[in-house]
Structure 1
Amino acid sequence: MLIAALALLGSAFTTARAVTVYGQIPLAQTIGANPSAGSAVPPTKTLAAYDKTVLNPPALPSPPPAAAYTLSLQKDAGAVNGLSIPHVGGSFWGFSVEMSVISQVLGKNSSLIQVPFLNLMANLQERAGSVVIRLGGNTQEFAAMVPSLPNGHTFAKADSGSTQTTKTPAVLYTVDMFYMAANISSMVNVGWFFGIPFNDSTNWRLTIAEQAQAIVGGHLLGLQAGNEPDFYQQFGRRVTYSPQMYTDEVQSLINTMNQNPLILNKNMLIGPSVATSGTWTPEQVWDTGFIDRFKDNLYALSVEHYPNNNCAAQFNTGQPIEVPQDVFPSYLTHTAAVNLVQPYIHSTDLAQAAGKPFIMFETNTASCGGFPGISDTYGAALWAIDYGFQMAYANFTHGLLHIGGQNVYYNPFTSPPTNQSSYNEWTAGAIYYSTIVVAEALGKTNTSRIIDLWGNAGSVYTPSYAIYENNVLSKVALFNFMDDKSGASNSQVTITVPAGAPSTVKVKYLSADTVSTKENIMWAGQTLGNQYTVDGRFRGSLNVTTINCDTTANTCVVPVNAPGFALVFFDTNAEPLSIGQATETFATTARTKFHNTVTFDPAALSTSNGHSGMSKDGFGSTSVGSISKATRRMTVSGVGVMLGSAILGGVWIVRGLLR
């Protein structure tokens, strides 16, 4: 019934126009302080997601790699040794949303969904065909479904008694969580992973499996059996624990599921999701017979891993504190991605032999929230693209970038703090652009095969990959990790195709001024906007570069700035070349704030400077009751634009399609 109502409501909106609203509180102004009045209210600490730290770009390598180099490529995949398996799709990068922050990221409930979130997912769906999202993390282990929560809430938190570093809370949720996921999937093609709580293996809580299958239906992809079990003993969740004990508990879980008539699909478990930075390796779990024993019950094999941690600085663990400036260079080299993936090569081979996907179920720049000045920068975006390609090359099926709320640095996207939601919008992290790039590179055909080219004499500062679709050379990805404003470190890459180069190639660039910037990151001339300004839609004109090739020499020369990334398309009619902003986006169709709002005439606003153009009866007091006829209404005006606090503040939205 809800979906039908949403569809009816959405049919009223057929177009959208940009609207500028003037006179808002300055973006990121400290809450609680009134500079003009000299308020003595102490300023609020800046949340990690909005941290302004800017580091110095790493020093240039000495000696530097060659500025000009050649890549010689085969046109047909059959002539290339070492390609990945041919199933990698554009939905490779997905998201892992910590269960405790679902209401910040997805929406308040099943009726009020975050519009910027829908727009961000629509961008990926347009390029990849679908998006994968895991709802879980450490908080899933203590999660419990309750019949209802005060004030109609869908989520609440309680003390879990956890002793782990991040003080994981217990999440209480209602059945509405599953309707929220189902409603999102009715608007954008999202597939979901949920996690079965593992804190009590004597009395399994299987409500999450029962309700997810019943309500989310075909959009439910899998159910995680345990989250980082190699940390259970360290975090006090078990007195003693071993890989064999974990395997035995999975058997207990399967036995219980088999006896539950409400769980119709018994064969969609995901495991073992070891952190690898804990005390176990994946091989120790495989050695228990895990794969052969459970392969008929498994959707996929999984691991979780972060390359570093910032726990000492974030949680005063007493361990040595990592200095972000010192570790920044380690993210800006191809070695970072290669070393992250190398320990899993054997495991991906085992997964292929078992016919199962292999998923990096949770990852990001660093655990315990990432690093200020690194995790939200253009440098991190380059790192995540390289990491994604390297995993695809090693035959991973998906990687899920973790989202942890406003107290972490590494989020792909973040909603504004509640006390700023009436005038600030969302923030897109730099690594969200990485998911867009990888989606376009791997495409929708699910035939993509990728190879690490190790060009430029194996320089770790200028990695490159070739991507084949339907067994034909489709794209080449070129990186330049160096940061050099002089231009001396810019690359000139000659791509040679002896079997015949096309007359032209087209190039999309991911660009920014420096590896340490958080602002003005551009993908093919478009940006989502800077901090507090994002509604999930790309802005600006699409800018795709055409490069003429030498068909006599069969060469194409592609420049790549330092820093820079280029995605070279050999098929100049490829669908991603025409994709900028997704053709279907979402806009406000409901608002929850009725005080201190005002309605503007869109036609007047579009031609005014904000000081005139309002109709006579459009003026009113912002104080409740001081003017009885102050306007309070939603404005449709035939153009599908909602004005007032909702479009500015990330207020949760029902469906409204804008085409």
Structure 2
Amino acid sequence: MASGASIASAPSLLLFILAFLSCSRGIALVNAITVYYAPGQNPTSTSADVASYTGAAAYNPTTLDPPALPNPMPQLSLNFNLQSNAAGMSIPQSGAFLGFSVEMSVSNQILGKNSTILQVPFLNLLATIQQRSGSVRVRVGGNSQDTASQVASLDDGKVLEKDLSGVTNPTQTPPLVFTPDLLYMMRNISDFVNVRWFIGIPFNDSSNFRLEIAQSAQVILGDYLIGVQAGNEPDLYAAHLHRPTNYSQFDYVGEVASLINDMSQTPDLSVAKNLLLIPSVSGTWTPEQVWDTGIVDALSSNIAWLSVEHYPTDNCFAEFGIGSPVNVTELWPTYLMHTSAQSLVQPYLNSTNFAQQKGKPFIMFETNTASCGGFAGVSDVFGAALWGLDYGLLMAASNFSGAMFHVGGESVYYNPFIPPPTNQSTFRQWTVGPVYYSALVIAEALGPSNVSQVLEVGTESQSAYTPNYVIYENGQPVRMVLINFLSDSSGNSNYTANIQIGGGQTGQSASIPSQVKVKYLTASSVSQKGGYTWAGQVCALKSLKILVMASHVLFLPSIQTFGSNFESDGRLEGTEIIETISCDQTAQICSVSVPAPGAALVFLTDKSTETAGAASTTFATTVETRTINTATVDPSVLATSNGRNGSLPMGSSSKGSANGQVVGVREYMSGFMVVLGVGVASAIGLLMRVV
């Protein structure tokens, strides 16, 4: 790379380069990129300024190098013979398997301002999942729910307010007050998108349960209310100074019984008291320690869900001085192997069997890459998307009935999605994180049929870097998800899955399809932040040199993505590209290449799930909270713009001016849009030179 040039400092430029050409199969990334800046345009800073970053954790630019490739390398050609009615298939799964857990204290940032002003990007993000799955599960709760109190109203029409002076626990979670309008906001969201909700009973005072939230939710949410949590991580209550040091699982069971008694004597709780979700332990107690109390049998008619909450590790020492420090550089590679998902799921296999015996669904109610906010460079990069995909599918294959990725706000690294800071909301958009892509792919892999069954498949030569799953419907293999954790932009670490479809356990032969359709989830490396592509494959050149004449951002809609930080309105942007791969019908094999890094969703039949759950729907704003001075030009573009040498018509955006027209950024950029084709160099003209 030329001296002074930094792709890391120009993610939009990298997106542009990756958007160049589509290829018919797999993905090949640019082997060498050289960026030449015109005089006066050389950047004054590069990614070295990461060390001095002091902004919100959600947008931290810290990156870690991709782990080195293993030595020896794993087998990169794997053979799969898929059987009908295969042994070991999971219980039937919902396409809404992966949902989202929104910390109650940030729900007014994520869901909307109040019941009349909803966050449109949030609606779009949920609609994108619903389109594939038919519904979406969202929980509003977390640590902040246990100290929440419902009040009739708050100043300025707010739906909740934090008591920052009342923090009394090590995780610095502030007590909340909220109004019923929070629940009306949730119901109004469900009127647009088929969202099913979990709430929680405040559990900080078990001698006087505050049941107002359940009363209001039963009336307002109606059938959209599917679960009521009774205690959030009760095994941590003593450590967080919320209970005596000798608080045990038997004490918890007694409190749940008291809660049910109180709910039975309270009007408008006839439904909610039978939707309880317990015990939501985090790992200090094992779930078996709770099952062994006999709670499920004793209170079965009131229990709708069995639940746990668990994160692979924590960053609590760095955030709150709790526990021990973590060496993130050593930890990072562990997220990029199937052994991570296996270690997370294995402790709960007994509980998934127990849940089936009791006729209850078992859900991972809150999880993500690490508690206490996650890690910069681990939780917010492409590797986390692959980790979440593998973890989610292994939970589905292991008879969990769902899982929820947590949304914690600006102070955490792991958000599936997050709005911009409120003081930047007029000129910045949302940031979509890596684990949202995990949920999107799983929703499309499972589909809305509610009869999908998941089976992890492997071969004797399969490694921890290449996990694979088959999705069955009515006993027949219909889709596969293939994952490659290796990070190698040369293409030399892509692996090939050779897929045969057998005739079932009877050994009868079956005809291989003439072709399969494939959607790819890709990025340049496991360390890439944002700009991941879903069903938007790109080819590249062996060598690419670019002459940047100005700092204007080019966006060519050749890749389907939610963009990088502050770039999404909740809709996939760009052109969807679905690969068609011809099968060898003589050898009865379909060979699918999986990029390093990346994942492939393989459709073994002509049945698509992209719009099987609901029609494609997007939402536009119909209410404006600011009606003047609303021009939205990216400040970084404006700061270095040369004004197009004065060639633009002079105008004013001031209210009441003679010429009040505003030139929008898309219109301004239209002069730079190019159509890729044979004449790439001539089409781009003065802007860049391709060599």
1:201-220 matches, within 5 Å, as: 201-220=206-225
Identify the residue that residue 563 of structure 1 maps to in structure 2.
597
Q: Pick from 611, 623, 646: which aligns with 1:590?
A: 623
Query: Could you tell me whether the CA contact under 8 Å between 1:363 and 1:401 is conserved in 2?
Result: yes
Query: In the alignment, does 2:279 pair up with 1:272?
Result: yes
Q: Give the C-alpha shift of residue 488 in structure 1.
A: 2.3
Query: In the alignment, does 2:542 pair up with 1:510?
Result: no
- Give the AA of the match of 1:140: Q
Looking at structure 1, the residues matched to 661 and 306 of structure 2 have their Cα atoms a distance apart, in angstroms, of 53
Query: In the alignment, does 2:101 pair up with 1:92?
Result: no
Query: Could you tell me whether the CA contact under 8 Å between 1:537 and 1:581 is conserved in 2?
Result: no
Query: In the alignment, does 2:241 pair up with 1:241?
Result: no
Identify the residue that residue 87 of structure 2 maps to in structure 1.
81
| Matched residue SS, 1:296 | helix
Query: In the alignment, does 2:435 pair up with 1:431?
Result: yes
Query: In the alignment, does 2:416 pair up with 1:412?
Result: yes
Looking at structure 1, the residues matched to 646 and 117 of structure 2 have their Cα atoms a distance apart, in angstroms, of 33
Looking at structure 1, the residues matched to 295 and 616 of structure 2 have their Cα atoms a distance apart, in angstroms, of 44
Looking at structure 2, the residues matched to 301 and 403 of structure 1 have their Cα atoms a distance apart, in angstroms, of 21
Aligned residue pairs, count: 575
Identical pairs, percent = 51
Q: Pick from 140, 150, 153: which aligns with 1:148?
A: 153
| Matched residue SS, 2:365 | strand
Query: Could you tell me whether the CA contact under 8 Å between 1:162 and 1:235 is conserved in 2?
Result: no
| Matched residue SS, 1:591 | coil
Query: Could you tell me whether the CA contact under 8 Å between 2:484 and 2:594 is conserved in 1?
Result: yes
Identify the residue that residue 544 of structure 1 maps to in structure 2.
578
- Give the AA of the match of 1:150: D
TM-score, normalised relative to structure 2: 0.80
Q: Give the C-alpha shift of residue 589 in structure 1.
A: 1.1
Looking at structure 2, the residues matched to 612 and 590 of structure 1 have their Cα atoms a distance apart, in angstroms, of 34
- Give the AA of the match of 2:68: A
1:268-347 matches, within 5 Å, as: 268-276=275-283, 278=284, 280-317=285-322, 319-347=323-351
Query: Could you tell me whether the CA contact under 8 Å between 2:457 and 2:470 is conserved in 1?
Result: yes
Q: Pick from 486, 491, 502: which aligns with 1:487?
A: 491
Query: Could you tell me whether the CA contact under 8 Å between 1:162 and 1:168 is conserved in 2?
Result: yes
Residue 632 to residue 314, structure 1, CA distance change in 2 (3 Å) = farther
Looking at structure 2, the residues matched to 561 and 609 of structure 1 have their Cα atoms a distance apart, in angstroms, of 40
Q: Give the C-alpha shift of residue 596 in structure 1.
A: 2.2
Query: In the alignment, does 2:70 pair up with 1:70?
Result: no
Q: Could you list the per-position Cα deviations for residues 416-468 of structure 1 after superposition, in whole angstroms to 9, with x for gaps in the alignment?
A: 01111121111000111111000000111001111111235241111111110
| Matched residue SS, 1:476 | strand
Q: Pick from 240, 252, 265: which aligns with 1:259?
A: 265
| Matched residue SS, 2:208 | coil
TM-score, normalised relative to structure 1: 0.84
| Matched residue SS, 1:328 | helix
- Give the AA of the match of 1:245: D
Identify the residue that residue 501 of structure 2 maps to in structure 1.
497
Q: Pick from 563, 569, 574: which aligns with 1:535?
A: 569
Q: Give the C-alpha shift of residue 595 in structure 1.
A: 3.8
Looking at structure 2, the residues matched to 610 and 497 of structure 1 have their Cα atoms a distance apart, in angstroms, of 63
- Give the AA of the match of 1:260: T
Identify the residue that residue 654 of structure 2 maps to in structure 1.
621
State the 4+ residue runs in structure 1 displaced beyond 6 angstroms: 578-582, 608-614
Q: Give the C-alpha shift of residue 326 in structure 1.
A: 1.4
Looking at structure 1, the residues matched to 54 and 351 of structure 2 have their Cα atoms a distance apart, in angstroms, of 43
Query: In the alignment, does 2:55 pair up with 1:51?
Result: no
Q: Give the C-alpha shift of residue 490 in structure 1.
A: 1.3
- Give the AA of the match of 1:573: K
| Matched residue SS, 2:301 | coil
Q: Give the C-alpha shift of residue 516 in structure 1.
A: 0.5
| Matched residue SS, 2:140 | strand
1:573-652 matches, within 5 Å, as: 573-576=607-610, 583-597=616-630, 619-621=652-654
Identify the residue that residue 382 of structure 1 maps to in structure 2.
386
Q: Pick from 500, 522, 536: which aligns with 2:533?
A: 522
| Matched residue SS, 1:479 | strand
Looking at structure 1, the residues matched to 225 and 331 of structure 2 have their Cα atoms a distance apart, in angstroms, of 38
Q: Return 5+ residue gaps in structure 1 as ranges.
A: 1-34, 36-42, 601-607, 636-640, 644-659
Residue 554 to residue 47, structure 1, CA distance change in 2 (3 Å) = same
Query: Could you tell me whether the CA contact under 8 Å between 1:192 and 1:221 is conserved in 2?
Result: yes
Q: Give the C-alpha shift of residue 324 in structure 1.
A: 2.0
Query: Could you tell me whether the CA contact under 8 Å between 2:80 and 2:458 is conserved in 1?
Result: no
Q: Could you list the per-position Cα deviations for residues 451-498 of structure 1 after superposition, in whole angstroms to 9, with x for gaps in the alignment?
A: 111235241111111110122111111111111223222101111123
Q: Give the C-alpha shift of residue 515 in structure 1.
A: 0.3
Looking at structure 1, the residues matched to 627 and 520 of structure 2 have their Cα atoms a distance apart, in angstroms, of 43
Identify the residue that residue 112 of structure 1 maps to in structure 2.
117
Residue 482 to residue 598, structure 1, CA distance change in 2 (3 Å) = closer
Residue 348 to residue 579, structure 1, CA distance change in 2 (3 Å) = closer
Q: Give the C-alpha shift of residue 609 in structure 1.
A: 7.9
- Give the AA of the match of 1:329: P
Looking at structure 2, the residues matched to 520 and 209 of structure 1 have their Cα atoms a distance apart, in angstroms, of 40
Aligned alpha-carbon RMSD (Å): 2.5
